[in-house]
Amino acid sequence: MILLKYDSRSVREPIIAKTAIETETLLNIIKASVGARQGEIIIEVEDAKADEVMEKLRAFGVEAVKIEGRIEKDDELCVHCGACISICPVEVFSVADDKKVVADSQKCIRCGVCVTVCPLSALSLPE
Ligand code: SF4
Ligand code: SF4
């Protein structure tokens, strides 16, 4: 996944569409927060095309940063209360057959909200 940061100029341009066409790559928008003067968008792209896509985005004037660290759950601390399940916007957490809460961290987009709601501080985002 790649985090895109737009400034007041780039935010007015159809940069994601132009990047998708020029790199012939499918770009999946995971999360977007865009205003008149700036914006942040997280996109998903296949690993083999990530460098090419980032190079093109930067050429269009967008700051592009790879999202590396995903959520980490400390199973020693977790009491399986489920608070993280409903708040995660991309359904990282679920209940397994044994009724325990499990995390599919590959889906994580680093929004950080689960870290703040966990009552046991069992969740963290590596720097
Ligand atoms: S909110 Fe914390 S304690 Fe509750 S299930 Fe999620 S990780 Fe476990
Ligand atoms: S940081 Fe956000 S996306 Fe990642 S697991 Fe927590 S709530 Fe879900």
Quick one: tokens of 22?
Answer: 């020029």
Q: pLDDT at position 64, please? A: 94
Task: List, for the chain, all residue ranges whose pLDDT scores fall below the cut of 50.
Answer: none
Please tell me whether residues 61 and 90 are part of one structural domain.
no
- Residue 95, SS3 per DSSP: strand
Please tell me whether residues 50 and 77 are part of one structural domain.
no
Q: pLDDT at position 106, please? A: 86
Residue nearest to atom 2 of ligand 2 (CA): 111
Please tell me whether residues 44 and 8 are part of one structural domain.
yes
- What angle (nearest 5°) sits at the alpha carbon of residue 88, between those of residues 91 and 77? 100
Please tell me whether residues 119 and 77 are part of one structural domain.
yes
Q: What is the pTM of this model?
A: 0.66
For ligand 2, the distance from its centroid to the CA atom of residue 1, given in whole angstroms, is: 13
What is the extent of the structural domain holding 98? Answer: 72-124
CATH number at residue 85: 3.30.70.20
Please tell me whether residues 82 and 107 are part of one structural domain.
yes
> Which of the listed residues 76, 77, 84, 95 should we mutate to test ligand 1's pocket, taking the one with most ligand atoms within 8 A of CB?
84
114 lines ligand 2 (CB under 6 A): yes
Domain count, the chain: 2
How far apart CA 100 and CA 112 sit, in angstroms, is 21
CATH number at residue 19: 3.30.70.260
Q: pLDDT at position 76, please? A: 97
